[in-house]
Amino acid sequence: MTKVADRTSPRAERTRTALLGAGLELLSQRPIDAIAIDEVVARAGVGKGSFFNHFADKHAFARAIGAAVRAELEERITRANRDQSDPVLRIATGMRLGVDYTLAEPVRAAVMLRSLEGSTMRHNELNHGLRSDIALAAQAGLLRPEAEASGLLFWLGLCQVVMVNVLERQAGRREAGERLREMAVLGLTGLGIAPDRAAQAAAEVERLLLAPDPR
């Protein structure tokens, strides 16, 4: 039986952080099947046994890295939506932040997109925000009936595709903004949002993507 590390221990947490950091660097270069555990622990500067204290195997390790990056992105979306009550704009903001994250953090975005196992499941806690926003839009009568069951899968798929496209094209911010607007219109109308409202929301998220960073 694999020993499970006590994650409340500062030492164990440092080890896990070092492993995840090493894995992120390696996964930015090649897929998990082309990476040896010996490489991971050597780069992390920890013993091989430490790897199995935290992860069952390489694929569980890759999933953990993808989930960590996705959680970082979801935190940005949560902050951006904190004062936003319109469910249509809340949904569209998720796509905007996905594109923005891809432009700002292309390596981390690429690693996340390679490690998506389980990411589209409704019960996945990382989908809680989108799941809630789709439910709110449905309760307001804004969505087609099919969106209640499959809207989450549909929207996540579009977000992932547009992020991959921005990476593959090495798009600049203006080109990415145009693609974001087009995909947001298609996606929102696909969910059942009225075309005028979808176009307004898409124009707003494009404007925000292109706005100067206040930091």
Exposure string for 22-36, b = 16+ CB within 10 A, e = fewer: bbbebbeeeebeebe
pTM: 0.86
Look at residues 29, 25, 113 and name the one whose alpha carbon lies nearest to residue 67.
Answer: 113
Q: For domain 66-210, is the CATH number 1.20.1740? A: no
- The alpha carbon of residue 183 and the mean position of all alpha carbons in its chain are separated, in whole angstroms, by 17
Give the pLDDT score at 215: 47
Mean pLDDT for 23-48 is 90
* Cα gap 77→208, rounded to integer Å: 13
Residues 86-112 have pLDDT tens digits of 999 999 999 999 999 999 999 999 888
Give the pLDDT score at 213: 64
Side chain identity, residue 80: A
Mean pLDDT for 190-201 is 98
Tell me which fold the domain 10-56 belongs to.
Arc Repressor Mutant, subunit A (1.10.10)
Q: What is the Rg, in whole angstroms, of the alpha carbon atoms belonging to the chain?
A: 19
Give the pLDDT score at 1: 41
User: Residue 193: pLDDT above 60?
Assistant: yes
User: Residue 41: pLDDT above 70?
Assistant: yes
From 78-87, 110-119, 158-167, 201-210, the region with the lowest mean pLDDT:
110-119
Instruction: Answer yes or no: same fold for 10-56 and 66-210.
Output: no
* Cα gap 209→189, rounded to integer Å: 20
Q: What is residue 155's three-state secondary structure?
A: helix
Average pLDDT of the chain to the nearest whole number: 90
Mean pLDDT for 172-189 is 97
User: Residue 39: pLDDT above 50?
Assistant: yes
Give the pLDDT score at 91: 97
Number of CB atoms found within 10 A of residue 64's CB: 16
**Signed CA dihedral, 186, 149, 79, 65: sign only:** negative
CB 42 within 8 A of CB 72: no
Task: Give the domain ranges of the chain.
Answer: 10-56, 66-210
Give the pLDDT score at 2: 43
Mean pLDDT for 117-136 is 84
